[in-house]
Structure 1
Amino acid sequence: MRANALNAAAHCSNDDGAQRPAPAPASAATTAGVGSDGAAAAAAVPCLTGLPIIRVPLADADEVPSALAAIQFAYTGQVEAGGSVREVLELYRQGQYLQVDGCSAACVAALEEMLAAAPSAGVGSGADSGSGVGGDSGGFTTQPCPTALELYGYLRLWPDDPALEPAFASVLSAARARLVAHFGNALTALNTLELREQLLALPAEGLEALLESDDFGTDVEDTVLLLLATWVQENGDTAGAEAVERLCRRVRLAQLSPEFAALVLPLLASARIARPKRSIGSGGPGWFPITGTEAAFMLSGFLAGGSTPKRRRLQDAAVKVHGLQAGLFDTKRRRQCLAASGGDGAAPPGSPGQQQRQQPQCPAFGWSISQAELERGLRGLQPGSTVSFACTLDSGLGAVSVRGFEWWASVDYKYGDEAAGLFLWCHLPAAYHLGASSLGGPLAALAQIGARWEVDRWRDGVRAVASAVEYNGSDFFGIGACSGLGVSDMLPLQRGGGCGGGTAAGGGGASLAAWSEYLHGGRITGRAVLRPLDV
């Protein structure tokens, strides 16, 4: 229904039978018919004498505002300013349904303008810059959610096949770029609480936009697999088998680190084989679509490297024999989000380093131990025993996700010692669904990380790094709760307050006074600075 056709058809009769054009806007005399029979008007505007009535059959009352907006556009040619993404999408659909000339193009222009007006990067703008070595914010600055998130949140309002509508496809192209800029990289998305929650709320189409982009950064592809596993754990049962498999094919298995692939791929294949056929495609054990022969092929051939001709022949063989898709063999690395060793950590907010989001940095994640927790642990400490204090991340998350694993630290103190130790622990994330019950026994494997764990000291109100422990390619962590790696005397305690007759709030054991250099504002603080793994 063209706009000029609406005007031409809107006539009413005089007493003598002559026709008179209607002078008023359509909204002044519009009835939105609700229901399959197009009957009663749920949001009818009273018809003024001598004005035409335009009846628009709608599915339900929720469509009334967009129908009125479409008819208003037919008269004004304007998309109302200040509308939300949802309102513009609804108008887009109604304009197509009513065939209002120019409405779709105007809505596309409005959406493109909204995307262009959004911040160049959202919560993840600090993805590669963090909050600085001394920061306590856990890493990243926050800005309003970009329009792209809202656009993906209303997937049901998209055209049935966006690819068949070039104008809307251009909107999605811009939205994908904004979405990638918002999340930044896999490390940011997993280790920033707000971003992690937004990631888990994405539909499969939104996550696919991240996974298929070369600009979506990471430390290694291992972390991309963990990001996908985390999403599938939350959404796999509702996303459907087809969507889960499509997302899995976006992981570049050929880019997994060899050690990680040698551990995880056979386990994922074993879990897949043991999974009941009726559960294939959803979340839970066996969620990743890979067979034993496919895993063996990846490990024995493609991941082993070799000449380029050899890799091409292997890829051709895999496609013919296993039917593996080319995306799994993508040899193009994603954008690297970790700077080479030697940096002093992430740039502070607002610095030039933060403005250049594409520049790799060393993101820092603050952690702390509360004085109350320290006091409780010391009060109950007995001779010969050791107390362990878990370092709580400022982000509110339980662990740092990096290199496909989850890492957490603890400060350990043994009764009578003159120093406390700092230890780092590695766990296989539960999102992989590779627990002992599905594997047939406990896991014996090693992992590595490139990082520096720091502890702060306070003197005369000034903070400095008291000590730090470096982890690199020469350090191997056993995966599990009993294989921490660290330095047992990293935090020297003040003499005279170490043990025995100290009065930690009236209790025995070690005294809080021994920890006074590290306590400030009711807590011990520090940070984890991530770096590439130096072998």
Structure 2
Amino acid sequence: MTRPNARGVCSAISALFGNDRDSDCDVLFCLEQQEARKEEREKTAEPQAGSGLVGEPLPGHLLGQAAADARGSGRGNAGRGRRWQGQGWAAAAAAVEDEAGGSQAAAASHHARPSPAAVEFMACWAQLPDPAEEPTFAPVLAAAKEALVRHFGDALAVFNTPSLRKQLLQLPAAGVEALLGSEAFGTDSEDSVLLVLATWMKANHGQTDAATRRQLCRLVRLVQLGRPYLTAVLLALAADHETGAAGSPCAWFPISVTEAGFITTLATAATGVEAERLLCYGCQLYVTQSSYYSTAARPQCLPWTGRTFEWAISQKELLEALGHLPPYGCVSVHGSFVGGSRLLCARGLEWKVLLLVEHGATSAGVVLTCDLPAAYDVAGSRLGSSSKFIAVAGLEARLAVHGWSPGARRSRWDVVVAR
């Protein structure tokens, strides 16, 4: 089935839910223990009081019910009811699998497209069949996860493409697990992977429990973090976890200060021999076989030539800023990257480009500044806005400034982030 046709079938089936149009039966939901009363209910035209019905009857469609009954045959009402809820999985699966097997050219252009079938599919995670109970659903789920990773691409794309960032926040925990647990999800550094999780967690902490948070955090390869994250971010997260109240939004990363310190020492070990000795003793205290200690590198999303991000400032913004230029002073002018954001995320940090103009100067200066991402600014956290956070961070980048061009009265700057 081609992608347009598959999506059309998905939309048509979805539109039938709760719709009287073309309905040829009624669907009744009942408790599973009421199976013994099935024959009694079937003999009457109207449901009897106390019959164990749950909710209101829904208009049904025998075309979808027939396919559901075929898959749920011999499983009782519970099986058939579950397959009726999922009568659109077959069509959805076709769209998802088609998208997962799409060409590389289509994958490369995904940033301009709306949310694909895979994102919508994962959003329904709570209603999806359990692959353990429905083995035939496992390939569909695998295809959905593969398509999800292809859609988001890599950590830099997630942060620097507004539509992808918005879609990330709407994913269920299973979708985030699919991204961080995939060997195909690229990044510029493991710092950005931790930032992906922190960004999602800040928006969705209330929808998680301790077990879910632990499972997601275990996917981050901590020994591959950069020095700023090892010496400041990781230790602060560990301190928040130890001292914060159970379930507090600031205590979301389950690791002790002692283990965070051990990981920092291990990651910054001078030689391979030193690291081996540390692991020899550390395995007696910590689970060194977990992903925390994985040295397997994720795919590098930056090509050797780097990745270019355009930043521009309008003539109106520039003139307004110059209008506030004090005598013998200077003024800084903020522009915007493509998509409207004023910041660029790389190596787990937020970077901004500023145009500095001094009074009486014949030229302006371009400055690249760095800040800790707002994802870590959680109430009660040592990484909050009122904290004293100091770290030395670096970024291999090239700033290219394009001056005013005749007839195009605008300025444009390119930031090339290199490996």
| Cα contact 1:30–1:54 (8 A) shared by 2 | no
| Cα contact 1:32–1:57 (8 A) shared by 2 | no
| Cα contact 2:25–2:60 (8 A) shared by 1 | no
Are 2:183 and 1:218 aligned? no
| Cα contact 2:25–2:59 (8 A) shared by 1 | no
Measure how far apart 1:531 and its partner are.
Answer: 1.1
Question: Match for residue 155 of structure 1?
Answer: 125
Measure how far apart 1:437 and its partner are.
Answer: 7.4
Render the CA deviation track for 1:116-142: whole Å, top value 9, x for unaligned: 333738999448xxxxxxxxxxxx741
Question: Match for residue 401 of structure 2?
Answer: 455
Question: Match for residue 99 of structure 2?
Answer: 118
Structure 1 residues 404, 105: closer, same or farther in 2, change over 3 A? closer
Are 2:65 and 1:71 aligned? yes
Question: Match for residue 398 of structure 1?
Answer: 342
The correspondence for 2:198, drawn from 229, 237, 240, is: 229
Following superposition of structure 1 onto structure 2, how do residues 319-330 of structure 1 map, counting pairs within 5 Å? 319-323=283-287, 326-330=290-294
Structure 1 residues 183, 29: closer, same or farther in 2, change over 3 A? closer
Residue type at the aligned position of 2:65:
I
Residue type at the aligned position of 2:78:
Y
User: Normalising by structure 2, what TM-score?
Assistant: 0.79
Residue type at the aligned position of 2:99:
A
Moved over 4 A (4+): 34-38, 52-58, 102-109, 121-124, 309-317, 434-437
The correspondence for 1:333, drawn from 293, 297, 303, is: 297
> 1:212 and 1:37 mapped to 2: Cα distance?
36
> 1:123 and 1:377 mapped to 2: Cα distance?
42
Give SS of 1:320's match. coil
Following superposition of structure 1 onto structure 2, how do residues 151-230 of structure 1 map, counting pairs within 5 Å? 151-159=121-129, 161-230=130-199
Structure with the higher fraction of residues in helix conformation: 2
> 2:99 and 2:77 mapped to 1: Cα distance?
26
Question: Match for residue 231 of structure 2?
Answer: 262
| Cα contact 2:224–2:267 (8 A) shared by 1 | no
The correspondence for 1:275, drawn from 244, 249, 271, is: 244
Structure 1 residues 145, 37: closer, same or farther in 2, change over 3 A? closer
> 1:313 and 1:236 mapped to 2: Cα distance?
37
Give SS of 2:403's match. strand
Structure with the higher fraction of residues in strand conformation: 1
| Cα contact 2:337–2:343 (8 A) shared by 1 | yes
> 1:244 and 1:33 mapped to 2: Cα distance?
37
Measure how far apart 1:530 and its partner are.
Answer: 1.5
Measure how far apart 1:275 and its partner are.
Answer: 1.1
Question: Match for residue 489 of structure 1?
Answer: none
- Which structure is larger by alpha-carbon Rg, 1 or 2? 1
Structure 1 residues 413, 339: closer, same or farther in 2, change over 3 A? same
Following superposition of structure 1 onto structure 2, how do residues 294-309 of structure 1 map, counting pairs within 5 Å? 294-304=259-269, 306-307=271-272
Measure how far apart 1:54 and its partner are.
Answer: 11
Structure 1 residues 28, 225: closer, same or farther in 2, change over 3 A? closer
Q: Which moved more, 1:167-176 or 1:264-273?
A: 264-273
Residue type at the aligned position of 2:364:
A
Are 2:376 and 1:432 aligned? yes
Render the CA deviation track for 1:69-92: whole Å, top value 9, x for unaligned: 4434379x7x9xxxxxxxxxxx99
Aligned-CA RMSD value: 3.9
List runs of 5+ in structure 2 lacking aligned partners. 1-21, 34-43
| Cα contact 1:124–1:195 (8 A) shared by 2 | no
Are 2:318 and 1:374 aligned? yes
Give SS of 1:163's match. coil
Percent identity between the two aligned chains: 33
Render the CA deviation track for 1:253-304: whole Å, top value 9, x for unaligned: 121124431232222222222312x335xx3x23221211101111222442
| Cα contact 1:122–1:181 (8 A) shared by 2 | no
> 2:348 and 2:23 mapped to 1: Cα distance?
61
List runs of 5+ in structure 1 lacking aligned partners. 1-26, 39-51, 80-90, 128-139, 344-361, 462-519
Measure how far apart 1:373 and its partner are.
Answer: 1.7
Structure 1 residues 434, 57: closer, same or farther in 2, change over 3 A? closer
Are 2:412 and 1:528 aligned? no
Following superposition of structure 1 onto structure 2, how do residues 4-23 of structure 1 map, counting pairs within 5 Å? none
> 2:316 and 2:225 mapped to 1: Cα distance?
42
Measure how far apart 1:524 and its partner are.
Answer: 2.0
> 2:271 and 2:316 mapped to 1: Cα distance?
56
| Cα contact 1:124–1:183 (8 A) shared by 2 | no
Residue type at the aligned position of 1:216:
F
Are 2:49 and 1:59 aligned? no
